[in-house]
Amino acid sequence: MKLFQSFFKLLPYLAIGSLLLSCQVQDSSNKVRPFQLDEITIPEIQQGYKDGRYSVRQIVQLYLDRIEEIDRNGPGLNAIILVNPDALQIADSLDQELAAGNSRGPMHGIPVILKDNIDTHDKMPTTAGSRILQDSHPLQDSWVAKKLREAGAVILAKANLSEWANYRGSFSSSGWSGVGGQTNNPYVLDRNPCGSSAGSAVAVSANLCAVAVGTETWGSIMCPANANGVVGIKPTVGLWGRSGIVPISDTQDTAGPMTRTVTDAAILLGAVTGVDSSDEKTFASQGNSFTDYTQFLKEDGLQGKRIAYLKTEEGTRHKVDTLMHRAVRFLKSQGAEVIELEQLVEGDPWKNSREVLAFEFKDGLRKYFARLGEDAPVTDLEGAIAATLADSLEMLYFNLGRMENAQSKGDLESREYKKAVRDMLLAYRDDGIDQAMDDHNLDAIIAPTGGPAWKTDMLNGDNFVLSTSVNAALAGYPNINVPMGFIGDVPVGISFFGRAWSEPVLIEIAYAYEQGTQHRKAPTFLLTD
């Protein structure tokens, strides 16, 4: 089977070792030919359709060829689990609409790759990276897939991910799944892509698609965006509907854009907003959402903004500090006032999230399997654990610590669960982000998103050394990563986050920063000596 051949072919690249910032690298870029669509944006593709330089079929075929050349073969990124066998047929129908003078809008004919925990009702299964779901075909589209199809997007492929969106074991290698194997960082191939939206981030960074969609519960859009040099938006929970997404947490889960530019992220963000009748969190988005976020793309978007630099991670990595200080100087030069903020929360209220996720994962999986109907491979978390334990490939590297902990929990009427939710949201919303922004009259808060990518290590698992995604993730508030520069050969990013439904002002700030700095560089697929 091609998936397993691809996986075992990658084993030589799964180097075991510690993070080495000053490694010697061998240039393998001569193995990757120049690509006609490198770094192309949504507006550029649309202009090509208008000019007659491109057809949707041509764009889709070019991306399919690119996936075959450098994901399946070539450097071996392993970002894609499965391509859509109907992609060209869909492209032809969209070309017919254009020929008739009908365009559905800015997403018409735009190839999108979805993280493979997002349901599509087509010939592609939705696996969440788990072999027990490798033949699971949802009975209906997710909200995300439905909205993208309505907007005229081409769902090109499903992306690899950390299995069960990294809610599986007590340790793991981000970007590894039993179905897809290990995803590799396109900048330096033995570096980790971070997770859980590893494949989505790698796909868009390596120009395997125009844009991609990831999901986040706690850092799963932000960390891969940081490690792979792309823009990631984690929206306010409720801005995008979550029905048809393999869940972890009803309180924290959201899908969001992963793109090469803030412009493309803004276009994609607006295409998926709306009230999802199956997701009550979206009811609060009425009056707080837009179908067009490009109106907030302002080159002078930093002028007059008041921003706090959150310093909780300062001193962790001095090279990250250097880039962050440079970013602060740029923000000031563009008319923003920047103050320093020593902390957002007191103590360790993040521990409440461990309880919230455990209770909600068990409950959410039961509901998700019910959505699959009679053909669901299992009906609950207990069945998923048993099936995984019985699979030798699934158990080759990592345990099921998180799943087993979740199985030990009661239902959502538990006092323990309700207290954990209440205490977490109080700490990160009312007494955290909201209070800081009110006290200091802030438009946004900034922080380094993370550190440089570590070497993938299948023996010891991930080596996180720096992350600030906890604040927005546990609050359920929006966060945007933009490339901030490079440490050696790998990128790192800066985060812009704030209160609920503040995507417009965050996009203004992020866009102005991006346009004035232009730190995004396409990967060159290096190998460590």
pLDDT digits (tens, 9 = 90+) for 356-403: 999 999 999 999 999 999 999 999 999 999 999 999 999 999 999 999
Q: 16 lies in a domain?
A: no
Label residue 487 left, alpha or beta by phi (over 0 means left) and psi (-120 to 50 means alpha): beta
Q: 300 lies in a domain?
A: yes
Label residue 231 left, alpha or beta by phi (over 0 means left) and psi (-120 to 50 means alpha): beta
Q: Which of 173, 197, 220, 243 is catalytic?
A: 220
Task: Quote the pLDDT of residue 20.
Answer: 31
**Known catalytic membership, residue 115:** yes
Q: Concatenate the DSSP letters of all residues of 388-399 into one string.
A: HHT-TTTTTT--
Q: 23 lies in a domain?
A: no
Task: Quote the pLDDT of residue 202.
Answer: 99
Q: Which of 115, 158, 234, 362 is catalytic?
A: 115
Beta strands in 280-404 (DSSP E): 306-310, 337-341
Contact (CB, 8 A) for 371 and 244: yes
**Known catalytic membership, residue 220:** yes
Number of domains in the chain: 1
Q: 345 lies in a domain?
A: yes
Q: 528 lies in a domain?
A: no
- CATH number, domain of 157, equals 3.90.1300.10
Burial label, 424 (beta-carbon count in 10 A; 0-12, 13-18, 19+): buried
Residues of the chain with pLDDT under 70: 1-30, 529
Q: Report the distance separating Cα 159 and Cα 215, nearest Å.
A: 11
Domain with 114, as residue range(s), is 2-6+36-522
Q: 31 lies in a domain?
A: no
Report CA torsion sign: 255, 260, 264, 266: positive
Q: Which of 130, 196, 467, 469 is catalytic?
A: 196
**Known catalytic membership, residue 278:** no
Q: 29 lies in a domain?
A: no
Burial label, 370 (beta-carbon count in 10 A; 0-12, 13-18, 19+): exposed
Beta strands in 381-489 (DSSP E): 444-448, 479-487
pLDDT digits (tens, 9 = 90+) for 336-351: 999 999 999 999 999 9
* Nearest by Cα to 257 from 292, 297, 216, 289: 216
- According to DSSP, residue 110 is labeled -
Q: 12 lies in a domain?
A: no
* Nearest by Cα to 212 from 250, 147, 264: 264
pLDDT digits (tens, 9 = 90+) for 24-59: 444 544 479 999 999 999 999 999 999 999 999 999
